[in-house]
Every structure is written in C-alpha cells, then in structure tokens.
Amino acid sequence: MKRKIILGLLFGMIAAGSFAAETDGIFSCKVGKIEVSMLVETQREGNAGILVGVDEIFLKQYIPASGFMHSTNTFLIKTPKNIILVDTGFGGAVFEKMKKLGVEPDKIDAVLLTHLHGDHIGGLQKDGKALFSKAKVYLSSKERDYFTKIQVNAGAVAALAPYGARVVTFEPGAFDSKLKELLPGITPIATYGHTPGHTAYLLEDSKEKLIIAGDFLHVALVQFPVPDVSATYDVDPKAAAVSRRQIMDYAAKNKIPVAGMHIVYPAIGMVEADGNGYRFVPKQ
C-alpha cells in the first residue's frame, strides 16, 4: 500500500516539476459549467518536521530520501454569474497567474476564505488598501471571531479591515447535515480543527462536484495514508484529524475530486480508500 501511495504522489511531484514550467503553475478543469483553475502561488522543498507524534523511522516509510515538494495554491472559479477566488496565497504570483487567465483583481466578485492564516490572506490588502476593489470577502463567523476577538492576530485584522462591510460571515454546515449554498453552485462545509473556523467549499454543477478542502493536510505523502497525523500548524490537532478523515471518507465514498492548498500540481484528484488510510490519484 505504501509503495502505491508514494508512487502516485511522486507522479504529482514530477508533474509539478515539468508541467508547472509549461503552464506557469496553472491547472484548469471544469465542474459542469463551472471553470476551476488551480494557481500555484509558491513551491518549495517540503518539511515533514511539522508533523506531530512521528519519528524518523515512521517518516522513512513514506518520505523519499530525496525529499518532497510543498505548494501553496489558490483557486480561481468562474461560474455563469461570478468570478471567485478561493484564498489569496501570499499575494504574489497569484496576481500574475490571474492576469494570464484574463482576470484583473477588480473583476473578482468574491473572495472565499478557507481560514485566516497568512499564506491564505496575504493578497487581500497592501498598505491598508483592498486589492480586490469590488469583491466581497466571505469567511466563517467562528474564524473571524477567533482571529479578531479571541486570539487576536494583527495580520488577520489588517487583511480584513479595508473591506469593511464587504466582509460577509456565515455558518458552514456539516457533512452529514442539510447543506446550504453560499453562492450559486458553492456550499461551505465546516472542517474545523486546523483553525476553529476552517471551511471547505463544495462546488456543484450538472451533477459534477469538487471539494476545495483548504488546509485539510500539509504533507500529503504522510497524511493521506495516515490521516490521524496532524501538524504543528493545527490549532486543534485532534479535531483537524477528525475533519481530515471526514473529508477523505466523504470524497472517497461519493467519488468527488478533492483540491488542496498544499498539494503539489495539479493539486486536484480522486481520493481512494486504502486499508486504514487513503491514497490520492492526481487528476490528468
């Protein structure tokens, strides 16, 4: 099982090296009539040291001696009614890649946030000015409250401040509940743990679906086959592991592709059950 998982994910790493250059780190696909483009914001050598409760002997079962790559991605969505960005990365390459797809920042109608960590909100503002002049910014109410009232984070406060009343909060639903659309074709799902209000987004059109799952994992080579392993970045490691299994189980049982902010190019693929864990099959 471990060999199959590693080979599958290494194929994605190889793709990251070859296709990222050809496509400038953009991978596009469709969910019905919805156009989805994954944009690689940054790519660097990964660090399995961020995982908790594991040792070198354990890691050698999953991590090649040559190491692995780590990406930070955002997702541009074009629906029949809206142009939407899911997370902003650090706010660098995402703007160049959007422009290559013919989208200027002032054409973005909505920015959906999975959570308020810096590598997901860095592109919201610069020098106190909103970089998406017409967009509404959507995030879960728990996420906003935690980072602006409970565990106040200056970066999160600064990122949201220029948008004022254009910041819209909501309550995402659970996988086993009746889910309510946030925007046409887009439904938020509570995947708490990485942060207290971490949210995944389910895209659906013409009976096709995709889950943009945010930071449901950070080291794919380990956390797909062993979902119970969490990372130091998780505010609540136990809850993060529960949410990770829920996402993978739901995706595998319902044959829904999953997209991740920290999976290497193309960052979108199928999740398949494999023993007590899962394997990831990158989309072609």
Residues 35-52 pLDDT 10s: 999 999 999 999 999 999
- For the chain, the domain total comes to 1
User: Is 266 inside any structural domain?
Assistant: yes
Percent with pLDDT over 70 in the chain: 92
Whether 63 maps to a domain, the answer reads yes
Q: For 141-187, what is each residue's pLDDT tens digit?
A: 999 999 999 999 999 999 999 999 999 999 999 988 889 999 999 99
* pTM, rounded to two decimals: 0.92
Domain that holds residue 179: 2-279
Domain containing 101 — which CATH number? 3.60.15.10
H-type helices in the chain, by residue range?
2-23, 56-59, 93-100, 118-121, 141-145, 154-160, 220-223, 237-254
Query: Is residue 96 helix, strand or coil?
Result: helix
Distance CA(255)–CA(253), nearest Å, equals: 6
The position carrying tokens 């999976």 is 263
CA 86 to each of CA 82, 155, 173, 255, 257: distance values in angstroms, whole numbers, following the listed order: 12, 18, 18, 22, 16
Q: Is residue 284 part of a domain?
A: no
| Inside any domain, residue 159 | yes
pLDDT digits (tens, 9 = 90+) for 170-229: 999 998 888 999 999 999 999 999 999 999 999 999 999 999 999 999 999 999 999 999
